[in-house]
Amino acid sequence: MSRYLDYSSPKLKVNDVKVLPPPKKVFFSELCRRFKVCGGPISPFGLEDAFKEQFKVGYKGNSTVCLGGRVVIGQTWNVASTATMTMLPGAFYMCCVVPRALPDDGWYSLLGISSRIMSWIIFITFILSSFSNPGIVPRNADRPRELEHHLDLRGNPAHRYLRINDKTVKQKYCLTCNVYRPPRSKHCQFCDNCVLRFDHHCTWLGNCVGLHNYRYFVTLIYTTSIYVMQCIWVICHLLGEGPSADGPLMEVFGPFIEEPKLILLLFYCLVLLVAVLLLSVYHTVITLQNLTTNEHVKNYYRDNPFDFGPLANCRQIYCMPELVLATGDDRIEADYVPFGTFSEPLSFDDC
């Protein structure tokens, strides 16, 4: 799995510091070993020996988990409806609109090549975002015995406090999954699972967006934004090349009569552009600050312990998402009493 799970171990000793060195570089032979016939790396999803003892049940919840945790099927109706609303207009654009705008060299032109490339990127990242494991935390069958001495007045495991980057965050115990939620995790009410580095539950994808599929989601919305801009430009170009209208009234309503499908597609693209462009700008801003949507909306931090600067944040999120901290070693220090740096407004209350 991910080293995020090391922070959830019930065996963490009070006032004991566990240091995790940076992960080893993955060379070609090791990379081939990790990737099997069914596709997808084993280490981020499969329950390896290091975690089999800690998690006695594995995957449950409302999502269907296949191929050892590599594939997660959430709300299939949501995925099917989104695919229908996007793929059908996209197919009409590629088959009926783009050929009319292609220059003499046809599909080998810049417009033809870029349209095909972006179409495939959107299709692949949509599939990966919808059906990849976002980082579901495996469950325990029962409460770990190590926590019997750390119960609150209701008989549930008490909150635990972690010192991360010299800042203290609160770590809650999930009564459904019987685990301490790793840092930045949240139990999704739709999927009924704790998800590592939970960003949000995407209704359009029918799946959570988390640690392992966030990169696919961001690539999807960035590429879609550029692609829709290109669609709008091509449609406006075709409408501008139409026959000249007689009279000012026909100049306004002529395209609606002569090219109603193009006009409908143009309005559809304009609405879609507003949505995906706002998403792209928003996720750019929170990525530079190393925040998730969940953290940003709930204003968890006044002083973010995971923020190491825009460059280090982007490198961690897009290149090394398995890391908890963008730079340095992971120093895991837990206690059931708040550290000196803790104050309620500055804590990660839903960790």
Q: How far apart are the C-alpha atoms of 351 and 96, rounded to whole Å?
A: 50
Residues tagged active-site: 202
pLDDT, one tens digit per residue, over 283-324 is: 999 999 999 999 999 888 878 899 999 999 999 999 888 889
Written as six digits, the tokens of 343 are 């104050």
Question: Which pLDDT belongs to residue 93?
Answer: 93
Question: Which pLDDT belongs to residue 349?
Answer: 44
The model carries a pTM of 0.85
* Domain layout of the chain by residue ranges: 3-346
Give mean pLDDT in consecutive 10-residue pieces for the chain, a chain of 351 residues.
Answer: 81 82 55 42 45 59 84 91 93 91 83 93 95 90 83 85 86 90 92 93 94 94 96 88 55 61 92 95 96 91 89 92 86 81 47 44
Q: How far apart are the C-alpha atoms of 227 and 119, rounded to whole Å?
A: 8
Question: Which pLDDT belongs to residue 16?
Answer: 80
A 10 A CB-CB count for 258 gives 14
Sequence-distant (≥ 6) Cβ neighbours of residue 313 within 8 angstroms: 287, 288, 289, 290, 306, 307, 326
What is the torsion angle, in degrees rounded to the nearest 10, for the CA atoms of residue 28, residue 222, residue 288 and residue 161? -70
Q: How far apart are the C-alpha atoms of 39 and 91, rounded to whole Å?
A: 28
Q: How far apart are the C-alpha atoms of 88 and 80, rounded to whole Å?
A: 12
| Listed residue (307, 132, 318, 284) closest to 209, CA to CA | 132
A 10 A CB-CB count for 64 gives 11
Q: How far apart are the C-alpha atoms of 329 and 193, rounded to whole Å?
A: 28
Question: Which pLDDT belongs to residue 35?
Answer: 44
Question: Which pLDDT belongs to residue 342?
Answer: 53
Sequence-distant (≥ 6) Cβ neighbours of residue 25 within 8 angstroms: none
pLDDT, one tens digit per residue, over 197-246 is: 999 999 999 999 999 999 999 999 999 999 999 999 999 888 877 555 55
Question: Which pLDDT belongs to residue 268?
Answer: 94
Q: What are phi and psi of 75, to 5 degrees?
A: -85, 100
